[in-house]
Chains A and B, each alone.
Chain A
Amino acid sequence: MRRFLDVTYGVAYRSTKKVAVNPQLLLPSLIFPLFFFVAFAGGLSSVGNVPGFDFPSGYTAFQFVFVLLQASAFGGVFTGFGIAGDFENGFSRRLMLAAPSRLGILAGYALGAMIRAATVGVLLFVVAIISGMQIDGSGVDLFGLVVLALLVNLTASMWSAGVAMRLRSIQAGPVMQLPVFLILFLAPVYVPLDLLAGWIEAVAHINPVTPLIEGGRDLISGSDFQPLLVFGIAIGLGALFLAWAVRGVRSAERAG
């Protein structure tokens, strides 16, 4: 256990420091979510006046939840880019030879991704509160929203880590990014589920991310929340992609 924790700490420290001291890595992950928040909550706010749009906390809070979960997911995907980069420059090969616990490597990357997502999340919360976002949920609800965002981050980081460890090239970037982007945007992004029309309504109904986004919106608005459904799906997806990433580590081990 001690070895596992040492490796986890070492890898998490390195990946966090790498992002913190490299503006090219740090700035996009901070600026993009803020920009999406401004563009969606600011530019589309009159969508909140559409007949039938009855979200109690207003359009800014409605969009905040989506942007928070999106930022958490992309924090995980960017970590996958880092893993792929480490494989390309040979660092991962040396790391796997040296580390006494290879699953600790995976845990370290996951912890690094969570630290990154937490930083972006705090920044988003601050900007949203300064811009006058209405929060009707209690402290417990907000804690639930933070846990939900971290579970989304874990799921995305395990997905991209699994891809990175199988393909071991930064050219796999679109393979990590595009499915996450699509599954997020095929959910009720701009309006609630019952106001969606056309093919996206059908897709959003079967999209597992839909209950997560709607659950997050229930939490921030203090509405009725279904914890078993929402956290059940979030934990289930996290476990599924954790297994995917662990098999990815085995694949990387076999490849040498």
Chain B
Amino acid sequence: MNELSLQTYEMARRSIVKVLRQPALFIFPILFPLIMMGINVSGLDAATEIPGFPTDSYLDFAIAFPMVQGALFASINAGSSVARDVETGFLNRLALTPMQRAAMLLGLFTGEMLVAFVSTLIYLGVGFAIGLHFASGFFGVLVLLALSLLIALAFAGLGAFIGLRTGSPEAVQGVFPLLFVFLFLSSSSLPRDLIEHDWFRIVATWNPVSYLFEGLRSLIIFGWQAKELALGFGVAAVIAVLGVYGATVALRTRVAAR
């Protein structure tokens, strides 16, 4: 194992152990989206009777929500975790060691993506247990897992960027409502063409999070749709590149300012 891999492994292990030692860090991000999904699936079941609704099961439509919401919570964890490392001086002490900067971030992202992967498996397991239909079959499940991992990386990158820029867990928590706005002002609850208010439909169309939902949902409801998948992977990749690049620059600045 080369040096970078070994250092990344150690940082990822630390990230995972940190999460496992504080059950609130993984129980809440997994349980809360599941509760919301359970409430929405029953509460909005009547929405499937709207003419043009793409499926007769709101569960098939809503299962994408906990995946994106879980990734969002993971981003807050990633941001808070790295901000705490700044605040406690851990990052400064780490910078004095031969640890490569890339390993610091790769380790953090690996840990958060593992949490997101387990969360997605749990959401899918619960979904299948209560009657989820998966139009694209087994390979669709694999592609969905890949897309949800990319989404988790994208949000973790953003979280790490905010955490490193501010160096304050409170500031990361303060940004949370803004990210939540992106989640709700999207096609998360209804397909865009069924949103009545023009202004909301325009906001949802410009909101990149809509394409993450639609990419995930296309595999579940419709099967293989090239355009939705390309947009889903494309948008997630762009956010991931921006987030990881931003976090890398912020880390460099943070360590240089030491």
Contacts and interface: CB of A to CB of B under 8 A. Distances in A.
Interface in A184-205: 185-186, 188-191, 195-201
Contact of B46 (A35, A38, A195, A199): A195
27 contacts: A35-B180, A35-B181, A36-B184, A39-B184, A39-B185, A42-B199, A42-B200, A43-B184, A43-B190, A44-B189, A45-B195, A45-B196, A45-B200, A46-B196, A47-B46, A50-B46, A50-B47, A182-B35, A185-B43, A189-B43, A191-B43, A196-B42, A197-B45, A197-B46, A199-B42, A200-B42, A200-B43
> Chain A: interface secondary structure?
helix
Interface residues of B, number: 33
Interface in B176-199: 177, 180-181, 184-185, 188-190, 194-197, 199
Interface in B198-245: 199-200, 204
A42 B197 contact: yes
A31 interface: yes
A182 B194 CA distance: 28
Nearest to A195: B46
A44 B190 contact: yes
Among B28, B46, B50, B177, the most chain A Cβ lie within 10 Å of the Cβ of B46
A89 interface: no
Smallest CB-CB A-B distances: 4 pairs: A200-B42, A39-B184, A198-B42, A42-B200
Interface of B: 24, 28, 35-36, 38-47, 49-50, 170, 174, 177, 180-181, 184-185, 188-190, 194-197, 199-200, 204
A188 B45 CA distance: 12
B30 to A, nearest CB: 14
B186 to A, nearest CB: 8
Contacts of B28: 174
Contact of A43 (B170, B177, B195): B195
A167 B43 CA distance: 34
Nearest to B185: A39
B184 A190 contact: no
A53 interface: yes
Interface in A42-63: 42-47, 49-53
Contacts of A50: 46-47, 49-50
Nearest to A194: B46
Nearest to A51: B49
B206 to A, nearest CB: 14
Given A190-B46, A191-B46, 6 more contacts: A24-B170, A31-B177, A44-B47, A45-B200, A46-B195, A196-B46
Among A39, A46, A186, the most chain B Cβ lie within 10 Å of the Cβ of A46
Among B39, B41, B195, B200, the most chain A Cβ lie within 10 Å of the Cβ of B39
A150 to B, nearest CB: 25
A28 interface: yes
A61 B187 CA distance: 22
